[in-house]
Amino acid sequence: MKLLYPLPIQNDFVFNSSPRDFTVEEIPLYEFSGEGEHLVLKVRKKELTTWDMIAIIANHLGIKHSEIGYAGLKDKNAMTIQYISLLAKHEERLKDLNHDGIKILETTRHNNKIRIGHLKGNRFEMRLKKVLGVQKDKLDSGLEWIKQNGLPNYFGNQRFGTDGTNWEDGKKIIEKKLKINDRKLREFLVGSYQSYLFNNWLSKRIELSLLLQKYSESECESILSLPAGTLDDTKDQAQFFKLIKGDVMMHYPYGRLFDAEELSDEASRFTSRDISPTGLVPGAKTKRAGGNAGVIESMFDEPIPLDGARRYAWIWATDISKRYIPEKAHYELGFTLPKGCYATNVLDVLRG
């Protein structure tokens, strides 16, 4: 799968996804109440998946894994901080928990169990290595571009497995060429194929936006074999990622869906970060794009035996920080992304 990025800066640096060089901290959706029958744990873990951590805590307490609530899954190859919840009656037994990869930093009471999606976003801190003077300047320039323009919201490599081919098994399952009895594994693999289709749609739209920087609307239609008029009113838009009539927009960073009609108005709101276009994660019970946008979206839409979704195509990193340590050739980078977004997208844009 070829992913296109808007900055051909060709920057080389070293990033090791490890607890030493990569930290992730979850940002809760709301402030916890301080009272109630549930206990919220602020937990720091390393070299464990979220599922690993939950299993260790559940086994220690002698409870079912499902009794522990969590908002999102965090990387194994990182130092991560996240919030989980369980019934407060287990609080005393937690004091005996002793594991090298798990540390409970804080506890507080709350009225209800934490549910999946109950987070605003994540704060990422990463150390890039072997960054020399010229590379440092390129990183500075790339970060400035991201600050001004945002970045594509691809699904990260985690969705596709070590060799990047999980989506192929998902496609075979849909085509009834592969049978997987384990429901969770089957849905995971099919979900990987959904992500693959979304990423390819996003690559096509970025390719389109890049071409519009050099060619006319009609020339781009010819190059991409699109019907005449598909790209009407796109080239003169000021932002990099061009909107197309019929795009399904969403208020940012969360809100309701609506169709793009007056492109000049929607482009202005997009530039001000009030709204952002969405792409289709194919499946049932999901709104499709109409009009000209639907022409392109339909190329990446297939019948999938899972519910689909709309996913932001374009996002913004906030609270960006940087620190260069020349004697070590280290570049320390920090930023915040909305929930469901991958830090690797920032790195991929910076690499070009």
SS3 readout for the chain: CCCCCCCCCCCCCECCCCCCCEEEEEEECCCCCCCCCEEEEEEEEECCCHHHHHHHHHHHHCCCHHHCEECCCCCCCCEEEEEEEEEHHHHHHHCCCCECCEEEEEEEEECCCCCCCCEEEEEEEEEEECCCHHHHHHHHHHHHHHHHHCEECCCCHHHHCCCCCHHHHHHHHHCCCCCCCCHHHHHHHHHHHHHHHHHHHHHHHHHHHHHCCCCCHHHHHHHCCCCCCCCCCCCCCCCCCCCCCCCEEEECCCCCEEECCCHHHHHHHHHCCCEEEEEEECCECCCCCCHHHHHHHHHHCCCCCCECEEEECEECCEEEEEEEECCCCEEEEEEEEECCCCCHHHHHHHHC
CATH 3.40.50.12780 assigned to 24-120: no
Task: Work out the mean pLDDT of the chain and round it to a whole number.
Answer: 93
* pLDDT at 187 exceeding the cut of 90: yes
pTM of the model: 0.90
**pLDDT confidence band for 9 (50 / 70 / 90):** low
Which of 8-12, 38-42, 46-50, 194-198 shows the lowest mean pLDDT across its residues?
Answer: 8-12
Q: What does the alpha-carbon distance between residue 339 and residue 243 come to, in Å, rounded to a whole number?
A: 23
Of 97, 59, 50, the closest CA to residue 77 belongs to 50
Average of per-residue pLDDT across 168-180: 95
Q: What is the pLDDT of residue 7?
A: 56
The mean pLDDT of 54-69, rounded to a whole number, is 95
CA dihedral 102, 105, 106, 112 (to 10 degrees): -30
pLDDT above 70 as % of the chain: 97
Which phi and psi (to 5°) does residue 52 adopt?
Answer: -60, -50
pLDDT of amino acid 248: 98
- The CATH code for residues 154-315 is 3.30.2340.10
Q: What is the mean pLDDT of residues 324-339?
A: 96
Q: What is the mean pLDDT of residues 133-151?
A: 92
Domain ranges of the chain: 1-16+129-150+317-352, 24-120, 154-315
Work out the average pLDDT over 73-102.
Answer: 94
Assign 3 a pLDDT band (cuts: 50, 70, 90): low
Q: What are phi and psi of 297, to 5 degrees?
A: -60, -35
Catalytic residues: 75
- Give residue 11's pLDDT: 66
Q: Could you read off the pLDDT of 215-246 as tens digits, one per residue?
A: 999 999 999 999 999 999 999 999 999 999 99
In this prediction, residue 245 carries a pLDDT of 95
Q: 177: left (phi > 0), else alpha (psi -120 to 50), else beta? A: alpha
